[in-house]
Amino acid sequence: YQMTNVVLNQLIMEVINGFKHEHAHAIYLRDEAVVTQVWADYDRLIQLFTNLISNAVKFSPEGGKVAIRIRNTADEIIVSVTDEGIGIPENELKHMFTKFKRIDNSASQKIGGTGLGLAISKAIVEAHQGKIWIESVESIGTSVLFSLPINDNSDQPDQLISKHQTNTLTTKGNVM
Ligand code: ATP
Ligand code: MG
């Protein structure tokens, strides 16, 4: 994992733009977060959003909306990817992050996939000390939500430099 400060709303727009060939769905970002910077692996987060948005597109009908919402609490950022698709039966929800797990019904069988996207997504979120969960109502839609701790190190290097400079000056001052 290659950790940097990642501006989440910019990253999400980049992923949405990567789906620009996708004209059957309206994919949009609802940004309600005050803090959108996280300490994260940029490429893994791209992969995470790509997995979740591709599921939302795949398992929902043409003309459906896919809404990515981002908000924050005092200590975490919460992201949801919501579609207007076929949904997931309640008794299956807790199994969906298992590798190769796919819903075994006619609606899902027509749609391709290997069943790895959500397992990989869970691994990525947990590697960032976050949590991931699903809320879904069959034939209404699905939200996949995840949290990421707010832990941006944006001002740390600057603080270290200025502290160091202050010490240097003080030392010089003392010597003189
Ligand atoms: P892959 O992601 O490896 O191409 P996949 O999309 O089938 O294959 P996952 O992304 O892991 O696999 O999802 C697992 C299963 O969960 C899916 O096969 C589908 O049954 C269900 N699922 C995932 N996302 C949604 C969604 N947004 N709406 C309805 N069902 C979903
Ligand atoms: Mg998938």
Distances (CA, A) of 173 to 10, 163, 166: 45, 15, 10
What pLDDT, in 10s, does the model give residues 112-124? 899 999 999 999 9
What is the rounded distance in angstroms from the CA atom of residue 59 to the CA atom of residue 117?
13
Question: What are the b/e assignments for 40-64, b being 16+ CB within 10 Å?
Answer: bbeebbbbbbebbbbbbbbbbeeeb
Residue 87's closest CA among 156, 154, 129, 136?
Answer: 136
| Residue percentage of the chain with pLDDT more than 70 | 86
What is the rounded distance in angstroms from the CA atom of residue 78 to the CA atom of residue 103?
26
What is the rounded distance in angstroms from the CA atom of residue 142 to the CA atom of residue 161?
47
More confidently predicted of 162 and 79 = 79
Mean pLDDT over residues 48-52, rounded?
Answer: 98
Give the pLDDT of residue 170.
Answer: 36
What pLDDT, in 10s, does the model give residues 93-112? 999 999 999 998 877 778 88
pTM: 0.88
Mean pLDDT over residues 70-87, rounded?
Answer: 96
ipTM above threshold 0.95: yes
Which tokens in the block code for residue 114? 């290997």
Q: Return left, alpha or beta for 139; rule: phi > 0 is left, psi -120 to 50 is alpha, else beta.
A: left
Cα of 118 from ligand 2 centre, angstroms: 6
Mean pLDDT over residues 14-19, rounded?
Answer: 98
Quick one: which atom of ligand 1 is closest to the CA of 56?
27
CA 91 to chain centre: 24
Q: Quickly count helices (H) and strands (E) in the chain.
A: 5, 7
Q: Residue 24: which residues within 8 A CB-CB, separation 6 or more?
A: 57, 62, 63, 64
**Residues having CB within 6 Å of any atom of ligand 1:** 51, 55-56, 59, 83, 85-88, 96, 101-103, 108, 113-119, 142
Q: What is the mean pLDDT of the chain?
A: 87
Cα of 55 from ligand 1 centre, angstroms: 6
Which tokens in the block code for residue 138? 């069959």
pLDDT above 70 for 176:
no
Pair 64, 25: CB distance under 8 Å: yes
